[in-house]
Amino acid sequence: MKVAVFSTKAYDRQFLEAANSPQQHDLVFFEPRLSRDTAILAAGFPAVCAFVHDQVDASTLEILASHGTRLIALRCAGFNNVDLKTAADLGITVVRVPAYSPYGVAEHAVGLILSLNRKIHRAYNRVRDGNFSLDKLLGFNLNGRTVGIIGTGKIGLILGQIMKGFGCHLLAYDVFHNPELAAIGGKYVELPELFANSDIISLHCPLTEETHHLINEKAIAQMKPGIMIINTSRGALINTQAVIEGLKSGQIGYLGVDVYEQESELFFEDLSDEIIQDDVFQYLTTFPNVLITGHQAFFTEEALRNISDTTISNITDIEQGRPCHNEIRAQPQAGNKVLAK
């Protein structure tokens, strides 16, 4: 199958070509992101491979469909950037990679926790300047602390297992209770109880209408003073302005994020020689107790291999008319619940 691959970096090409070697699909790589303005590049391609920040909205899909595209192969888990109803109306199949780096993401979340707690990022810069003072580098033992995990799918479970190894108590919230988390001592509670009793809160749920701005002014007010909030899931789970106010008041003591609700114009690009126009993001970077990474939690060798293998397998299944377990379709969401990621 001829496939137009958008938003490609050198590492995408390396791993996709390796995965495609046995199948021999015709992969054509494009650096630009997919949008209504670039969709014409895929004219004549039955399949399009898109990434997390590509705009697969109604207008883009209509252009793609009018030029012969019948398959959108997402090389990511999230699909909130895809208009699934329009895709179905146009006869376009959408497939994704549902899980590719649960250990990588969970381990990155732990890295953010440790770095924020022990001020490792600040200590690194001090030592490079010849400053060996320990002032303002005081941390706390993780042992005995309570970690609240929102979303207990594969990533949330792995985070729970790691934090249990540190001797932490585990609270959890999810519409689906994971028996494996309960087996290691995780206690499922409602969100207000989790907010009130956690020392660290880590987000591992998808972005839906119900979870949009899950961490907002009301939620922050219910948390312990000095709470640590970690987000390696979806940027818009957090109301950034509310979090900034929480940081300013001291209600939030630490913030570690690998995602940001307006990240699409920032992340995955080298903007080191440019003036970043996002004033909210720039303000966040001024806080000494905030640690931001650029959507790299998934970025491991194992993850890129899994993403590529699954993406090529999905394309092959659709090409050969086989059922694909990773197909996604528009469906109504039920209730105000958090679904495991």
pLDDT tens, residue by residue, 165-187? 999 999 999 999 999 999 999 99
Average pLDDT of the chain to the nearest whole number: 95
pLDDT tens, residue by residue, 271-329? 999 999 999 999 999 999 999 999 999 999 999 999 999 999 999 999 999 999 999 99
CA torsion, ordered 83, 88, 92, 95, to nearest 10 deg: 70
pLDDT tens, residue by residue, 103-160? 999 999 999 999 999 999 999 999 999 999 999 999 999 999 999 999 999 999 999 9
Phi, psi of 170 (to 5 degrees): -120, 125
pTM score, two decimals?
0.90
Assess whether pLDDT exceeds 80 at residue 331. no
pLDDT tens, residue by residue, 98-110? 988 899 999 999 9
Q: Note whether 266 and 242 are within 8 A (CB).
A: no
SS3 173: strand
Phi, psi of 271 (to 5 degrees): -110, 25
pLDDT tens, residue by residue, 60-75? 999 999 999 999 999 9
Give the residue numbers annotated as catalytic, written as ranges.
234, 263, 295
Give the residue among 340, 325, 240 at the shortest CA–CA distance from 290.
240
Q: Burial, 256: exposed, middle or buried (Cβ in 10 Å; 0-12, 13-18, 19+)?
A: buried
Give the residue among 119, 338, 332, 115 at the shortest CA–CA distance from 233.
338
